[in-house]
């Protein structure tokens, strides 16, 4: 029911592969970027980070020129034949395995590829412009499905393309599947799957659909059981005197002191002025309304802090649930209150997607995160 396919990849030269891929450059501090670019001539940051160019169109053209330069120097290699890739990422005790392949944007337009997050039109248009000029998918959209697959039948020593570890201590293993009969078996399996679900990359998918004559998007597809889902916690700047903020929350909902937070609590727990608190809000009938992020927004952020749109408000910042609580607390400012959120189960996300509804912004932090500059696809 859904279409996936092979493609001619653009990828790092085997001899220097561990030096090329990077995290999204938004993860780096400015000094880290400059240091990496200076010390590692092969880093993908040398391509993607062109922020010294103010004009947007010229900046995107510079990225394209750098891509071409890396290809001319054989730092990046263009494959002659289409393939599907098995990609395994290992982080400590977590292992993720799936296919890097193409997906059909018509499946997205026809709602065979489901969303669970809203996109911002301005960002869609920006990335669509970026794609139309750079002609590159530097990393795939993260896609999941409600199915199983046995990858071992496609793995062998002869088709192992990469096995390396990046400085962030993440191991990357990639197998190349280029035999037509094997590709056919994989694509046939997905023709029996009715829906795919975007786990991460909603804006890239929406932007891709806007690019003229573009019917394919690069994806990393793995079963739902492979995903690791964390919340995004909220740190909010308080404008009230210290003694008033707790009383204002108590006027709206039940609040009591606790010694320490509970991991993935069903209640909103928060930290303020070196004390922990827990709340009780009655269960909602609607799945979306019952999400902790929506309970926080409707019962505390809107009525008390006048935060109606979390994405646009400068008094709120989002913290990955993968971060240790002790580290979050140490980084809190004196006038910030920390609201702890819980992870949303993948089945709940799928349920919301099938209702054609969307979760609030920054509801989930999902692993794996695929590096930029590893397995790429050019737009034709």
291-302 pLDDT per residue, tens: 999 999 999 999
What's residue 311's pLDDT?
85
Q: 38 and 14 in contact (C-beta within 8 Å)?
A: no
The residues near 94 (Cβ < 8 Å, ≥ 6 apart) are: 228, 367
Q: Which of 139, 172, 176 is nearest to 161 (CA)?
A: 176
Residue 342 φ/ψ, nearest 5 degrees? -115, 165
What's residue 291's pLDDT?
95
Q: How confident is the model at residue 241 (pLDDT cuts 50, 70, 90)?
A: confident
What's residue 243's pLDDT?
67
Q: What is the mean pLDDT of the chain?
A: 94
- % the chain with pLDDT above 70: 99
What structural domains does the chain harbor?
A: 4-229+367-378 (3.90.1530.10), 232-342 (no CATH)
Q: What is the pLDDT of residues 12-66, one digit of tens each?
A: 999 999 999 998 877 888 888 899 999 999 999 999 998 888 999 999 999 999 9
What's residue 153's pLDDT?
92
Q: What is the pLDDT of residues 103-127, one digit of tens each?
A: 999 999 999 999 999 898 999 999 9
Q: Which of 127, 118, 143, 152 is nearest to 310 (CA)?
A: 118
Q: Is the pLDDT of residue 135 over 70?
A: yes
Q: Is the pLDDT of residue 68 over 70?
A: yes
Lowest-pLDDT choice from 51-55, 103-107, 344-348, 372-376 = 51-55
The residues near 131 (Cβ < 8 Å, ≥ 6 apart) are: 137, 207, 208, 211, 214, 379
Q: Which of 270, 277, 250, 281 is nearest to 336 (CA)?
A: 270
Q: 86 and 154 in contact (C-beta within 8 Å)?
A: yes
Lowest-pLDDT choice from 64-73, 79-88, 160-169, 239-248 = 239-248
Q: What is the pLDDT of residues 315-324, one digit of tens each?
A: 999 999 999 9
Q: Is the peptide bond before 368 cis (omega within 30 degrees of 0)?
A: yes
Q: What is the DSSP letter of 248?
A: H
Sheet holding 336-340, edge to edge: 254-258, 275-280, 269-272, 336-340, 232-237, 316-320
* Placement of tokens 């990849």 in the chain: 9
Burial 61-89 (b: 16+ CB within 10 A, else e): ebbbebbeebeeeebbeeeeebbbbbbbb
Q: How confident is the model at residue 155 (pLDDT cuts 50, 70, 90)?
A: very high
Measured in whole angstroms, the distance separating CA 72 from the mean position of its chain's CA atoms is 31
What's residue 380's pLDDT?
79
Alpha carbon separation from 343 to 238, 321, 340 (Å, rounded): 25, 8, 10
Cα separation, 329 vs 167, in Å, equals 27
What's residue 52's pLDDT?
86
What's residue 78's pLDDT?
97
Q: What is the pLDDT of residues 76-85, one digit of tens each?
A: 999 999 999 9
């Amino acid at each position: 029911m859904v279409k996936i396919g092979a493609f001619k990849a653009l990828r790092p030269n085997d001899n220097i592969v561990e030096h090329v891929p990077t995290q999204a450059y938004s993860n780096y501090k400015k000094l880290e970027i400059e240091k990496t670019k200076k010390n590692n001539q092969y880093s993908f940051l040398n391509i993607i980070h062109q922020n010294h160019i103010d004009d947007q169109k010229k900046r995107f053209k510079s990225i394209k020129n750098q891509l071409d330069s890396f290809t001319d120097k054989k730092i990046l290699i263009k494959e002659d034949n289409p393939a599907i890739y098995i990609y395994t990422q290992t982080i400590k005790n977590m292992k993720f395995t799936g296919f890097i392949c193409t997906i059909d944007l018509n499946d997205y337009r026809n709602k065979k590829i489901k969303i669970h997050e809203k996109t911002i039109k301005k960002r869609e248009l920006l990335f669509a412009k970026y794609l139309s000029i750079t002609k590159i998918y530097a990393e795939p959209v993260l896609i999941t499905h409600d199915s199983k697959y046995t990858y071992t039948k496609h793995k062998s020593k002869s088709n192992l393309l990469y096995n390396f570890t990046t400085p962030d201590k993440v191991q990357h293993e990639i197998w190349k599947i280029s035999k037509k009969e094997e590709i056919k078996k994989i694509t046939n399996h997905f023709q029996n799957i009715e829906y795919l679900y975007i786990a991460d990359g909603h804006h890239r998918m929406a932007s891709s659909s806007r690019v003229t004559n573009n019917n394919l998007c690069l994806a990393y597809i793995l079963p739902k059981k492979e995903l690791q889902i964390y919340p995004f916690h909220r740190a909010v700047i308080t404008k009230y005197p210290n003694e008033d903020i707790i009383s204002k929350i108590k006027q709206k909902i039940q609040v009591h002191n606790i010694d320490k937070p509970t991991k993935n609590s069903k209640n909103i727990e928060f930290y303020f002025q070196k004390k922990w608190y827990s709340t009780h809000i009655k269960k909602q009938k609607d799945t979306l309304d019952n999400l902790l992020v929506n309970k926080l927004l409707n019962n505390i952020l809107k009525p008390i802090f006048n935060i109606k749109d979390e994405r646009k408000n400068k008094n709120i910042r989002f913290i990955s649930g993968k971060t240790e609580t002790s580290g979050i607390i140490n980084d809190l400012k004196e006038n910030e209150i920390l609201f702890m959120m819980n992870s949303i189960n993948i089945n709940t996300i799928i349920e919301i997607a099938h209702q054609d509804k969307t979760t609030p912004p920054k509801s989930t932090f999902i692993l794996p995160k695929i590096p930029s500059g590893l397995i790429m696809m050019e737009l034709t």
